[in-house]
Amino acid sequence: MSSAVANPSHVRMSYLDAIVQAQIEELERDERVIMMGEDIAIYGSGDLVERFGAKRIWPMPISETSFTGVGIGAAIAGLRPIIDLNIASFMYLASDQIINQAAKLRFMTGGQVRVPILFRVCMYYGTSIAAQHSDRPYPMFMNVPGLKIISPTTPADVKGLLKAAVRDDDPVMLFEDMKLWTLKDEVPTDLDFLVPIGKADIKRAGRDVTIVAISGAMRPTLEAAKALEKEGISAEVIDPRTLKPLDMDPILESVGKTGRLVIVENAHRMVSASSEIAAIVCEEAFDALRKPIIRLTAPDVHVAFSPALEQALFPSAEQIAAAVKRLL
Amino acid sequence: MPFTQAQALEAFRRMMRIRKFEEEGMRLFIAGRIPGAYHASIGEEATIVGACMALRVDDAMTGTHRSHGHPIGKGADLKALMAELMGKRTGICKGRGGSMHLADNSVGIIGESAIVGGGIPLATGVGLSAKVRGTDQVCLCFFGDGAVNQGTFHESLNMASLWKLPVIYLCENNGYAITTSVAISHAQPEIAKRASGYGMPGVAVDGQDVRAVFEASSTAVARARRGEGPTLIECKTYRFEEHEVGLVVPGQPYRTTEEVDFQRQNRDPVVLFRAALLSEGTKAAELEAIEREVATAVADAIAFGEESALPDPETLYDYMYSRPVLYPRKAGRASAAREG
């Protein structure tokens, strides 16, 4: 899975391979870690069943509601399951167990139980598979107390955050954007390399404008930042990495410096992550803003099948650059 | 596996504890000293206790919105349960669960789900965990007749049987999902028969006979411990009170007064078991001593609840997360969640 080793402490790999590698390392480290999901014995990568045995790797029947609950029950009873919920639009069936059980049980029992579980959810879109396979539903879950939500944008970050999530004692949802799966970069090989949950990261320093880019929107945002640089415009690009709890300090500090904010994401516009970020900036850094905030999101319309209709839905590098220029 | 005499007396004691706890709880609820809603387990004591008596202390359990009987049946202390019903800081769930979620983990309960059918996958997961960890722990999963029509019942029983998980699925069939009878909601009203569709044993027992429930449960527990998989037990029982205390049911009654009266007069599990014990030679004085002990324990629990303080609103964020999390940011600064 890895290519040439440039530095023994790092290896170059794709975002998807970093996920697989993180899972294997955690399965090897702690025998309480198990994996559950549809077709994972075949598509789980890395010959998981041969390597870890049938008691650790559980291919699931198509029963999303209940196998999610089975994972939650197993987590309460001493295991640390990784639940692969596959395509995000499939997991609404599982959402009752995630919201009513996983998120609430520690609180509702007054701390008598804990729910150390990781839900992997893939946001698969932009490939003409229509609305029932193409959702990016993390904003809905941001509205649920008790969950932690991560959606990093680099191979190193996804490896470190996934490992941190497996070791966390609370339920964590990883929303992985398939637009990032093929992205390659250097990833630390240290078996205890962790990225803390709840810490944003500045992916590109700048002084003229702040761009917060979420999940798959990071790729066009970095393209836009490069193009803007050629025109002498310096954009600071921030990746929240964790959406719940949201680490606002770096964003507020950056806006304090630039006075201009563009937020980019591929979720629908209404009550999105960018809505929350914009609201907090208005509440806490209104005086620093020199121009109104711009949000670039998918509109409130379903993802269409035809490429001609689908392409127009998600913010492009050109649109991001144009938005920045409107603020200058 | 019939009861020993010691087990029989313990079963009687636990049934009495449920009955007295609920009678006093209902009185306190009507008097306004317990907030929220009150779902009493009265009438279902034999089903609950018979099943719980088949378990070890380290076995796990999940329950339902009608959650008071389950922890008492499993042997929980009454004080923290009553304090929880009153919303006090000494409550078993620190005032965050209440009547429908009276889970006591010290006796193995991992949750009481007020989402009907929501606990069935959780119990199945406990069984999966026992299998992975290689223990002989089992999980007893309580649910009602209404939950049988949830998808979680179908999905979970399929998985448990497929993987031979150590779970006992115990249906407290009291005949009604609030006002909806089994007759108008189940194509197969004999719930135990559904087990055959999942390749597991299905047993129907008289849920008002604590011994019958115990024996069926013991057989199922032994099977589960041997690694042979789950069993579905349907206990035919009856809810003597309304779905919840004070519930107003408009229009035509969904069950007749005659039906309720008949059940109360002829099918009261506590009365039936008491009579059986006496007829078999247990001294009345022995049962009366248990009844006095139970009355004292319930009175002590009420006093404990009444004397306990309400939770401090400053502690609201406690038990949200395992480590302090500042969220929402501003409110969180003042009241970060503490270690829970």
> What pLDDT does B325 receive?
60
Mean pLDDT, residues B77-105: 97
Question: Which residues on adjacent β-strands are paired with residue A201?
Answer: A239
The answer to whether the CB atoms of B156 and A248 lie below 8 A apart is no
Q: Which of A34, A105, A109, A141 to mutate to test the interface with B (most CBs of B within 10 A)?
A: A109
The answer to whether the CB atoms of A73 and B128 lie below 8 A apart is yes
The DSSP symbol for B1 reads -
Contacts of B62 in chain A (CB under 8 A): 73
Backbone angles phi, psi at A138, to 5 degrees: -60, -30
Contacts of A100 in chain B (CB under 8 A): 113, 115, 118
The answer to whether the CB atoms of A111 and B156 lie below 8 A apart is no
Distance from the B279 Cα atom to the nearest Cα atom in chain A, whole angstroms: 42
Share of chain B above pLDDT 90, in %: 93
The answer to whether the CB atoms of B156 and A66 lie below 8 A apart is yes
The answer to whether the CB atoms of B321 and A146 lie below 8 A apart is yes
Mean pLDDT over each residue of chain A, to the nearest integer: 95
Exposure string of A99-129, with b = 16+ CB inside 10 Å and e = fewer, is bbbbbbbbbbbbbbbbbbbbbbbbbbbbebe
DSSP string, A84-139: EEEEGGGTHHHHHIIIIIITTHHHHTTTS-----EEEEEE--SSS--GGG----HH
Grade residue B324 by pLDDT with cuts at 50, 70 and 90: low
Nearest CA in chain A to B91: A110
Question: Which residues on adjacent β-strands are paired with residue B276?
Answer: none
| The two three-digit tokens of residue A280, written as one number | 């907090």
> What pLDDT does A46 receive?
65
The answer to whether the CB atoms of B319 and A107 lie below 8 A apart is yes
Distance from the B286 Cα atom to the nearest Cα atom in chain A, whole angstroms: 36
Find the catalytic residue in A10, A133, A268, A302: A133
- Cα–Cα dist A41/A54, whole Å: 9
Share of chain A above pLDDT 90, in %: 91
A253-301: pLDDT as tens digits: 999 999 999 999 999 999 999 999 999 999 999 999 999 999 999 999 9
Distance from the B95 Cα atom to the nearest Cα atom in chain A, whole angstroms: 7
Nearest CA in chain B to A244: B327
In this prediction the pTM is 0.95
Helices of type H across chain A: 15-29, 40-43, 48-52, 64-76, 92-96, 105-108, 138-142, 155-167, 218-230, 249-258, 273-285, 307-310, 317-327
> Which of A60, A111, A284 is nearest residue B340 as measured by Cβ atoms?
A111
- Chain A to chain B Cβ contacts (< 8 Å): 168
- pLDDT above 60 (res A3): no
Q: Which amino acid, residue B305?
A: G
- Cα–Cα dist B240/B40, whole Å: 9
Is residue A23 within 8 A of residue A81, CB to CB? The reply is no
- Cα–Cα dist B251/A89, whole Å: 42
Cβ burial of B279 (10 Å; 0-12, 13-18, 19+) is exposed
3-state secondary structure at position A174: strand
Tokens 């990833």 correspond to what residue?
A187
Exposure string of B238-265, with b = 16+ CB inside 10 Å and e = fewer, is bbbbbbbbeeeeeeeeebeeeebeebee
3-state secondary structure at position B263: helix
- pLDDT above 60 (res B327): no
DSSP string, A140-159: HHHTSTT-EEE---SHHHHH
Length of chain A: 328
- pLDDT above 80 (res B321): yes
The answer to whether the CB atoms of A66 and B322 lie below 8 A apart is no
Nearest CA in chain B to A105: B111
DSSP string, B177-220: ETTEEGGGT-SS--GGGGGGGGTS-EEEEETT-HHHHHHHHHHH
The answer to whether the CB atoms of A110 and B91 lie below 8 A apart is yes
3-state secondary structure at position B226: coil
Q: Which of A35, A70, A99, A199 to mutate to test the interface with B (most CBs of B within 10 A)?
A: A70
- pLDDT above 50 (res A246): yes
Q: Is the ipTM of this complex over 0.85?
A: yes
Nearest to A297 by CA among A214, A222, A225: A214
Distance from the A111 Cα atom to the nearest Cα atom in chain B, whole angstroms: 5
The answer to whether the CB atoms of B105 and A109 lie below 8 A apart is yes
Nearest to A26 by CA among A156, A91, A125, A118: A118
| The two three-digit tokens of residue B262, written as one number | 């008949």
Backbone angles phi, psi at A99, to 5 degrees: -80, -50
Q: How far apart are the first and last CA of chain B?
A: 41
> What pLDDT does A7 receive?
58
Catalytic (active site) residue A10: no
The answer to whether the CB atoms of B155 and A100 lie below 8 A apart is no
B98-139: pLDDT as tens digits: 999 999 999 999 999 999 999 999 999 999 999 999 999 999
- Cα–Cα dist A234/A232, whole Å: 6
B253-259: list long-range contacts, CB under 8 Å, 24+ apart.
Answer: B254/B176, B254/B179, B254/B180, B254/B181, B255/B175, B255/B176, B255/B181
Grade residue A43 by pLDDT with cuts at 50, 70 and 90: confident
Distance from the A311 Cα atom to the nearest Cα atom in chain B, whole angstroms: 35
- Cα–Cα dist A64/A54, whole Å: 20
Distance from the A20 Cα atom to the nearest Cα atom in chain B, whole angstroms: 22
Measured in whole angstroms, how far is the alpha carbon of residue A223 from the centre of its chain? Answer: 20
Is residue B174 within 8 A of residue B234, CB to CB? The reply is no
> Which of A78, A97, A284 is nearest residue B121 as measured by Cβ atoms?
A97
How far is residue B1 from each of residues A97, B108, B313, measured CA to CA in Å? 37, 23, 50
Mean pLDDT, residues A23-31: 97
> What pLDDT does A90 receive?
87
Q: Residue A301, Cβ neighbours under 10 Å: how many?
A: 12
> What pLDDT does B340 receive?
36
Q: Residue A6, Cβ neighbours under 10 Å: how many?
A: 10
Contacts of A111 in chain B (CB under 8 A): 94, 318-319, 340
A55-76: pLDDT as tens digits: 999 999 999 999 999 999 999 9
Share of chain B above pLDDT 70, in %: 95
Q: Which of B113, B161, B321 to mutate to test the interface with A (most CBs of A within 10 A)?
A: B321
B199-257: pLDDT as tens digits: 999 999 999 999 999 999 999 999 999 999 999 999 999 999 999 999 999 999 999 99
Contacts of B128 in chain A (CB under 8 A): 58, 70, 73-74, 79
Question: Which is more confident, B266 or B251?
Answer: B266
